[in-house]
Amino acid sequence: MEVALAPRSLQSSKARFWVETIALASVIACALALAIAILGFLAGAAAAGSESLQSSAGKANQISSTQILSTQALHQSPSPTRA
């Protein structure tokens, strides 16, 4: 016993083609968006890492210059003023 399948109409074949095309384009767009998001995350993490290194080096320079200024102020003798 054979089962006879109904022949597909030309209109349903065109509709299926467009549905598959749109589905494929959607999958490609999602994959591309995910790749761009991952690259952005990695670039942000790398920038934050170098920024924290720069800020810690800047704090070390700021502390040393503050210490220098306070040391210079201590070594300067106040000039006597006449009243």
pTM for the whole structure = 0.48
Distance CA 42, CA 38 (A): 6
Distance CA 47, CA 41 (A): 10
Tokens of 78: 């106040």
**Span 24-74, pLDDT tens digits:** 999 999 999 999 999 999 999 888 877 665 665 555 555 566 666 666 666
Helix %, strand %, coil % of the chain (to 5): 80, 0, 20
Say how many residues make up the chain. Answer: 83
pLDDT at res. 30: 98
pLDDT at res. 20: 96
Does residue 19 surpass a pLDDT of 70? yes
Which DSSP state fits 9?
Answer: P
CA distances from 5 to 2, 8 (A): 9, 9
